[in-house]
Amino acid sequence: MTADFDPSVFTGTMFNRRTAQLNHAARWVAWDQYHLPEVFVGLEVELGAIHDGVMVEDKSPMTKYSFSGPGAADFLDYLLPRDVSKIEVNQLYYTPWCDHDGKLIDEHPVFRLDDGSYVNSGNPMTLWFEQHRGRFDVEIEDISAKFGVLAMQGPKSLNVLEALIPGEDWQSLRFARGRRAQLPGGVELYVWRVGFTGQPGFEFWVPREVALEVYDAIMAAGEPHGIVPCGHNAQNIARVEAGILMPGLEYMTAGPDALVAAYESTDSETLSSPLELNLGRFVDFDKPADFVGRDALLEEHQRGPARALMGLEVNWNDIVSLYDRIGAPPEISRRISWTRYPLEHEGHHVGHASSVCWSPVLRKMIGLCQVRTDLAQAGTALAMEWHAESESADVGVTVADLPFIEDKRRG
């Protein structure tokens, strides 16, 4: 198995020659060794495309591995808490990946292809795979450099797909399913029905050598439908609205491959189990095969998790009052915050907030939080520590149900 990641190299993805031309704001964000546009047109325009129109976004920096050979399914079945034997051809399973203590290394999909192999896309896991492949007859290849990934999201995404690849029944393609397809000129790619924004959408796995051709074809097919290139910031806010996790923000990744995190140090709160993040439905204790982390997760399941994932609404007036007190204009970033905010209830530490951001769609300051299970009820009032200039103070927050918006990915 080879890893293509080189921390000494910082570059654009295989779609960069197109996205750089469209990035009129010239604002970039780093994702591993790649730079991506943070915003193309504007936050409100791009969020509007996600919720009411259609957008396309480059997600190529995700690390992608291929698993093949007689032992590929057994290898994945050992690493995953879901029953890999039930994954059908051209289907994907969203799944947690846990260490032996039941803590999340990552949570991302595994795809079963029509040639009998499996692929995944998420964070780098080279060392983790090497540590566990010993007794399995499996070939593992880092294919990150071979394929680009374009996400097309929004209620008009089906219209664009039907124009891009006509003559196929795309409406019947179920969520978490996919298949090989060809553009009218013969270019072959994989199309998956998935979403990271809570809206209907698709994901294209594109061979490197035809990356620009596919990008141009998508933009041409989408032009009559008002397709908008989407920056990293807008889709990140949309995934918070949809209550979707981000490794390194909602939890620090466990395991030997952890590269980045929002936290300065690791403690009992930065590492989380799937049960603490509302992912218990993706842990199959009854599957025939043993799996990494099973004993720890079963013990936690039996006693009940100490924390639960919820939404959070921030009292904006409290933030205004804090800035007014120090004689400064109220200010919040239009980007997702990478800070972990302590939460208190009646003077006691009860959890933390993450991914705090302003949602132009909801016209609220929102975020995600992990709190004690007895406080994980919509309407619970908590205090969150907020920093303004050189001052800090507690601001009021209210626990909220997730998602903030209706999940339309299966619609």
List the structure tokens of 106.
């990552």
Are the CB atoms for 340 and 387 separated by under 8 Å? no
Which pLDDT score, from 0 to 100, does residue 2 have? 45
From the options 2.40.30.110, 3.30.160.270, 3.40.50.150, 3.40.50.720, give the CATH code of 306-400: 2.40.30.110
Tell me the C-alpha distance between 37 and 58, whole Å: 9
Written as one letter, the residue type at 190 is Y
Q: Where in the chain is the domain with CATH 3.30.1360.120?
A: 16-62+144-241
Range 16-62+144-241: architecture per CATH: 2-Layer Sandwich (3.30)
Are the CB atoms for 86 and 144 separated by under 8 Å? no
Which pLDDT score, from 0 to 100, does residue 114 have? 87
Tell me the C-alpha distance between 89 and 171, whole Å: 19
Q: Where in the chain is the domain with CATH 2.40.30.110?
A: 306-400
Which pLDDT score, from 0 to 100, does residue 333 have? 82
User: Of all residues in the chain, what percent are helix, strand and coil, respectively (each to 5)?
Assistant: 25, 30, 45
Tell me the C-alpha distance between 238 and 235, whole Å: 5
List the structure tokens of 170.
């795309």
Per residue, the 3-state secondary structure of 292-360, as one string, reads: CCHHHHHHHHHHCCCEEEEEEEECHHHHHHHHHHCCCCCCCCCCCCCCCEEEEECCEEEEEEEEEEEEC
Tell me the C-alpha distance between 63 and 120, whole Å: 8
Which pLDDT score, from 0 to 100, does residue 266 have? 52
What is the side-by-side order of every strand in the sheet holding 91-98?
Answer: 91-98, 104-112, 118-122, 63-68, 139-142
Helices marked H in 80-156: 126-132
pLDDT averaged per 10 residues in sequence order, the chain, 411 residues: 54 94 90 91 96 98 97 98 98 98 97 94 95 96 97 98 98 97 96 95 98 98 99 97 94 77 56 97 97 98 98 95 90 88 97 96 96 98 91 95 96 73
